[in-house]
A and B are shown apart, each in its own frame.
Chain A
Amino acid sequence: MDMERTASETDLFQTDRRKRPMEKDSPFKKMAGAGLRRRKALQSAVFFLIRLAAVINGAALFVILFFMVKNGIGAINWTFLTQPPIDSMTRGGILPCIVGTLALSLGAIVIAMPIGVASAIYLNEYARPGKVLRLIRLGINNLAGVPSIVFGLFGLALFVVYFKMGVSIAAGALTLGAMTLPVIIGATEEALRAVPDTYREASLGLGATKWQTIYRVVLPAAMPGILTGGILGISRAAGETAPIMFTAAVFFTPVLPSSIFDEVMALPYHIYVLATAGTEIAKTRPLQYGTALVLIALVLGMNLVAIVYRSHLRKKMRN
């Protein structure tokens, strides 16, 4: 025993690299080695779980898309896209829903865009840090957190009943506009922040006023980012159901809307109605998948354009 221990102790002082593996015999080295191995093994295990989490998230999107495309693609044809529903909505197309959703989301953006962009200009260009700014930001954050069904109640009480607009495109678009506002403000602020301060300084240095600088220099430079926000806003408004349930959308209307005070059909509400309250829920399943697929294509298409364009802008900004 003694002999062995002495041997290993002397080995510790050997400089010959080939003999290094002998160090493992040292009780200290053994502990440290095992500890490091254990720590590395733990790291691999946890990193595996973390990668798994990311994979699950990605898979969720693809599983949903896969089933929607697989089951919905068969329902989609020219008639489906260009005809109104017939036979108590068990056959026919979804044209009125497409028209209604476009009218509602475009209306919402027409309302939210000017207010949102102007708000963002104030927040980013004019406001100084302080209580007022803090309060406005708190208001925007809380508005962004209001549940969609509460927007529906709000639209019902204010626009439909109080302003006597009735169930109409106008009431729905105003409700959706209020809901989209924080999205527009956020996107516009990001776009304004990305404009380098040197642009502003150069313009002010040439004798332009603040407003001239904003109007002629900052806004044009930020325009692509602002438009991206607009696209995201439209797609958000197009996909919402709860805010339009009481304010704009109806089960069925045979005619296309002719004024903004007409009630409409809408894609998201149509899916809900067919899937839960239609006359023959099982029989219209293909129509439900088809409608869902059209809505997904519309919303994800717009989002994809906005996301790709924005990451392109961000890269350009960084260089």
Chain B
Amino acid sequence: MLRRNTIERSMKSFFFVIATASIAILAAIMVFLFAEGLPIFETVSVTDFVFGKYWYPTFEPPEFGILSLIMASVLVTAVSAAISIPLGVMTAVYLAEIARPKVAEIVKPVVELLAALPSVVIGFFGMVLVAPFLQRVFDIPTGLNLFNASLMLAFMSIPTICSISEDAIHSVPNALREASLALGATHLETIVKVIIPASISGISTAVILGMSRAIGETMVVLMVAGGAAMIPESIFDPVRPMPASIAAEMAEAPFRSDHYYALFATGVVLFLFTFLFNLIADYVSNKYRQVGEASL
């Protein structure tokens, strides 16, 4: 009996220790990013790094300002959100409210498979097929630009937005739906005035996580965004978002040179962006948790 109890207790501690692995990895990521990124600030001040407009890491003397990279990331994410939020949320409404169950059972796996497509394949698709198409249709110098990257990113974040929103809409109690319909509201009015407000916390979480996925996505912006490190003036200008800059330059940056440190510091900025997105998503989903009718 004593032995059994000892085993029981040690099993529980064992599983607890392993469950903290995720936190340990997250902490290790932060430690190593900062350890390899912070040395750049001995050369450049934090303000010059974040707000500097010129990214010429291989020039003599080099310039390490990542404002154009940050702007590129933010703009690409914003434009992709303008596409992915309506499409993602509308598809979620379709799946949860409008589609017949049989149809939904086919459409859902399709959306899940869209999420499963490797990012390099979407990048390749954007590069060899969408870019020439855009170039011809809009008569622009290059199809590899902000808009193309945003379009590809949108289709990568739609599955995230759609599936989390759909869960939120599904968990709205049927009583609310029935009450609204019984008062004479049409199905659309019920969706807009009752169901979406009741599930808005879940939908917001979905949108934030979708945008977080878009800002951190690497291969698509590396292959499709065009790569020019400048602040874009039009939606058809080529840009160089942060992940693309890191991925493209790390191989050529000498080990522990200023350039290497600057790329890690860019990684820190990128990490902070997504970390913030995730914290907000977590806060929203906990603070405004759907608790049945109480959430209205």
> A residues near B, CB below 8 A?
39-40, 42-43, 46-47, 49-51, 53-54, 56-58, 60-61, 64, 67-68, 115, 118-119, 121-123, 125-127, 135-136, 138-143, 145-154, 156-158, 162, 178, 181-182, 185, 209-211, 235-236, 238-242, 245-246, 268-269, 271-272, 275-276, 285, 288, 292, 295-296, 299-300, 303-304, 307-308, 311
Contacts and interface: CB of A to CB of B under 8 A. Distances in A.
Interface stretch (B48-56, B57-65, B85-93): B85-93
Contacts of B20: 136, 139
B174 interface: no
Contacts of A238: 118
Contact of A150 (B19, B33, B123, B213): B33
B236 interface: no
Contact of A60 (B95, B155, B270): B155
Interface string B28-66: 110011011000000000000000000000000000000
A177 to B, nearest CB: 9
Given A39-B189, A145-B278, A311-B109, 13 more contacts: A50-B90, A136-B23, A139-B23, A141-B278, A142-B282, A146-B26, A149-B270, A152-B250, A178-B25, A181-B22, A272-B219, A276-B223, A296-B118
Nearest to B115: A303
Contacts of A268: 118, 120, 219
B71 interface: no
Contacts of A68: 121, 125
A242 B243 contact: yes
Contacts of B91: 50, 53-54, 57
Nearest to B15: A122
Given A51-B98, A53-B90, A272 B251 contact: no
Contact of B246 (A42, A49, A153): A153
Nearest to B18: A118
B294 interface: no
A277 to B, nearest CB: 10
A142 B275 contact: yes
Contacts of A275: 124, 127-128, 223
24 contacts: A54-B107, A119-B15, A122-B12, A123-B19, A127-B16, A136-B22, A145-B216, A145-B274, A146-B216, A147-B217, A148-B217, A150-B33, A181-B21, A240-B119, A242-B119, A246-B250, A246-B251, A268-B219, A269-B120, A275-B127, A299-B118, A300-B113, A303-B116, A307-B113
B178 interface: no
Contact size range, B: 35 or more
B31 to A, nearest CB: 9
B162 interface: yes
B129 interface: yes
B121 A154 contact: no
Given A122-B18, A149-B218, A162-B32, A241 B246 contact: no
B105 interface: yes
Contacts of B158: 57
Can you list the 5 inter-chain pairs with the closest CB atoms, starting with the nearest? A147-B216, A239-B118, A53-B90, A139-B23, A122-B15
Interface of B: 4, 7-8, 11-12, 14-16, 18-23, 25-26, 28-29, 32-33, 35-36, 86-87, 90-91, 93-95, 98-99, 105, 107, 109-114, 116-125, 127-129, 155, 158, 162, 186-189, 209, 212-213, 215-219, 222-223, 243, 246-247, 250-251, 263-264, 267, 270-271, 274-275, 277-279, 281-282
Contacts of B188: 39, 42-43, 46-47
B19 A296 contact: no
B112 to A, nearest CB: 6
Given A40-B186, A271-B124, A139 B94 contact: no
B247 A146 contact: no
Contact of A54 (B90, B113, B117, B187): B90
B82 to A, nearest CB: 14
Interface of B is mostly: helix
Contacts of B215: 147
Contacts of B128: 275, 285, 288
B98 A239 contact: no
A302 to B, nearest CB: 8
A57 B19 contact: no
Nearest to B30: A154
Nearest to A132: B16
Contact of B117 (A53, A211, A296): A296
A292 B120 CA distance: 8
Contacts of A151: 29
Given A147-B243, A147-B271, A292 B26 contact: no
A55 to B, nearest CB: 9
Given A146-B29, A153-B36, A157-B264, A241 B219 contact: yes
